Structure 1
Amino acid sequence: MSGVVLVGHGGFDKLEYRNDLPVPKPDRNEVLIRVAGAAVNNTDINTRIGWYSKVVTSETGHGATQGIEDLRDTDASWSGEAIKFPRIQGADCCGHVVAVGLDVDPGRIGERVIVRNMLRSYVDYRPMECWTFGSECNGAFAQYTKAPSRETFRVDCDWSDLELASLPCAFSTAEGMMHRANVGAGEHVLITGASGGVGSAAVQLAKRRGAIVTAVAGNEKAAHVRSLGADRIVDRHESLVENLGTMSVDVAIDVTAGPAFPEVLEVLRKGGRYAVAGAIAGPIVELDMRTLYLKDLSFFGCTFQDDVVFENLVRYVERGEIRPVISKTYPLENIVEAQKDFISKTFSGKLVLAIT
């Protein structure tokens, strides 16, 4: 089969498109999927360049094209452990089941499915543990992939395959933050990075819960973010405190961190909740501990996802409560072009690879 193999940490030269890869064989409780589409995500690039290593203190765009010098491989994956190469990445997967393992109902063959990107089966459902599809195991950047049957979900909807491929990673990350912070109707929610994949999903998911949404995005992307349901837009170069005032927000949904982090905490009310699942503007932030404890803030680091998060997403899609946001599609062999466009941040929503 054809696919893209990551052969080590570094620049684009570490991505090899090949036509001689073996088709995986499903184990007893797995299904074999003919992949139709897979989206590009920050985690793909972060893993390639080793950004997750604690020796890296820069924003995610640093080294995204050439890799990061003086990288420590031992903790360069999101899990904090060394990644095993070669690896087929791709956290997002939409495709069709073409074969099943011995303990899987053959009736699943032919189903159109998506795969939970945070897999629990391979760690025996231990609390707060998971594998990322395309990191600890091979993912969707190939014609075929395999996944646990119980974490492969049939979806009945009118979305195209490529639209469904935009869902798993971005929407589950956003819904995971909503779930952990327990966002409720009528609450004022601040969403950073609102024009990106996770941010666009977060805007929709917060509005679905009946929240009032203030989104942070560039002025050139404001109309798009507003079309997703945002009630107010603050330009990412402007002060949150000057625009919103202190203690004006109930929940902050953050994927950027970086220099703006102190102001995010300033606009939270007393008893406010802060949920984070990314640090594209930089992982090292300035925290005044007095702000944290004098305002009785709650912090939620959001990587692990309760099972209900992904299951709910499937229901939201089938009930027509959310919609995909795709900016551009590419053939799989153009993955470098797709990642370059992703790094440029000139688009809104998702970039998706079509796999034939």
Structure 2
Amino acid sequence: MMGVWLTGHGGFEKLEVRSDIPLPVPAAGEVLIKVAAAGINNTDINTRIGWYSKGVSDGTAAGGAAGFQTSNDVDASWSGTPLAFPRIQGADCCGRIVAVGEGVSPDRVGERVLVRNMLRSYVDYRPWECWTFGSECDGAFAQYAKAPARETYRVECAWSDVELASIPCAYSTAEGMLHRARVEEGEHVLITGASGGVGSAAIQLAKRRGARVTAIAGKAKAPRLLDLGADAVIPRGEPLTDHLDRESVDVVIDVVAGPGFGELLDVLKRGGRYAVAGAIAGPLVELDVRTLYLKDLTFHGCTFQDDEVFENLISYIERGEIRPNVSNTYPLERIVDAQEEFLSKGTGGKLVLVVPQ
């Protein structure tokens, strides 16, 4: 089959488009999916460049094209364990089931599906453990992929394959953060990186919960974020306290970190909650611990997702409670062009790869 092999940690040269990749064979409890579309996510790039290694202290963009010389393969995956190469990446998978392994009903053949991107089947559903589809196992950057049947969800809706492929990683990350921080109706939520896939998903999902949303993004992207439901948009780089009172925010949803981290804590109320699932501006921040304990703040690091998070997303789609936010598409073989656009941060919303049929 045709697909993209990641041959090691590094620059774009580590992405190898091939037409001789062996077709995956579903084992017991698995399904084989003919992939239609696959979204681009920050985790794909972070994995390729080895950004998760403790040897890296810069933001993703600093090594997005060429990788990091300081990355160590031993801890360069998000799970902290070495990856096996070659690996087919791609956390977002939309397609149709074309075959099933032992123990899976053949009636599932033909279903249009999304694969849960944080897989628990392969770790026997142990607490706080999971694999990422396209990291610890092969993912969706190929014509076919296999996945656990019980974590492959039929979706009944009028969305296109491209639109569905924009959902799994970004929206589950956003929903997982809101779920972990227990965002409730009437609360004020501040969202960083709001024009990206996770941030724009968080806007919709927070509004769905009845929250008031302030987004942080480039000034030119404000109209789109207001259209998605944000109540206000703060231009990226401007002091937060020029726009918000101190101690006026209940929850911060952060995927940026970096130099602006301290300001986020300044605007949190006493007893406020901070949830983080990314650090695109840099993973090392300065924390005055007195702010943490004197304001009784709660910090949530968000990777693992409770089972209900992805199941809820499927229901939101089918009930029309959220909508896709796709900015551009590329054929799978132009994955490097897609990642270059992703790294430019010039467009808001999701970039999706269309897989040849």
Shorter-chain TM range is over 0.9
For 1:237 and 1:130, locate their aligned partners in 2 and report how far apart those are by CA, in whole Å: 35
Residue of structure 2 equivalent to 1:302: 302
For 1:70 and 1:242, locate their aligned partners in 2 and report how far apart those are by CA, in whole Å: 38
Q: Which consecutive residues of structure 1, in runs of 5 or more, have no partner in the other structure? A: none
Letter in 2 for 1:331: P
SS, match of residue 225 in structure 1: helix
- Judge conservation of contact 2:56–2:70 (CA < 8 Å) in 1: no
Q: Deviations over 1:175-226 (max 9, x none)?
A: 0000000000000000000000000000000000000000001101000011
- Judge conservation of contact 2:53–2:75 (CA < 8 Å) in 1: yes
Residue of structure 1 equivalent to 2:316: 316
Residue of structure 2 equivalent to 1:277: 277
Letter in 1 for 2:100: V
Q: Deviations over 1:136-165 (max 9, x none)?
A: 000000000000000000000010001000
- Judge conservation of contact 2:316–2:322 (CA < 8 Å) in 1: yes
After TM superposition, the structure 1 stretch with the greater mean CA deviation from structure 2, 66-75 or 323-332, is 66-75
Residue of structure 2 equivalent to 1:87: 87
Q: Which consecutive residues of structure 2, in runs of 5 or more, have no partner in the other structure? A: none
For 2:282 and 2:98, locate their aligned partners in 1 and report how far apart those are by CA, in whole Å: 42
CA deviation after TM superposition for structure 1 residue 317, in Å: 0.2
Residue of structure 2 equivalent to 1:59: 59
Residue of structure 2 equivalent to 1:232: 232
CA deviation after TM superposition for structure 1 residue 242, in Å: 2.2
Whether 1:142 and 2:145 are equivalent positions in the alignment is: no
SS, match of residue 173 in structure 1: helix
CA deviation after TM superposition for structure 1 residue 173, in Å: 0.1
Q: 1:332-347 counterparts in 2 under 5 A? A: 332-347=332-347
Q: 1:1-356 counterparts in 2 under 5 A? A: 1-356=1-356
CA deviation after TM superposition for structure 1 residue 102, in Å: 1.1
CA deviation after TM superposition for structure 1 residue 67, in Å: 1.1
CA deviation after TM superposition for structure 1 residue 128, in Å: 0.3
The CA RMSD measured in Å over matched residues stands at 0.5
For 1:49 and 1:12, locate their aligned partners in 2 and report how far apart those are by CA, in whole Å: 9
Following TM superposition, the consecutive aligned residue runs of length 4 or more in structure 1 with deviations greater than 3 angstroms are none
TM-score by length of 1: 1.00
For 1:230 and 1:71, locate their aligned partners in 2 and report how far apart those are by CA, in whole Å: 37
For 1:206 and 1:318, locate their aligned partners in 2 and report how far apart those are by CA, in whole Å: 18
- Judge conservation of contact 2:54–2:71 (CA < 8 Å) in 1: no
TM-score by length of 2: 0.99
- Judge conservation of contact 2:171–2:313 (CA < 8 Å) in 1: yes
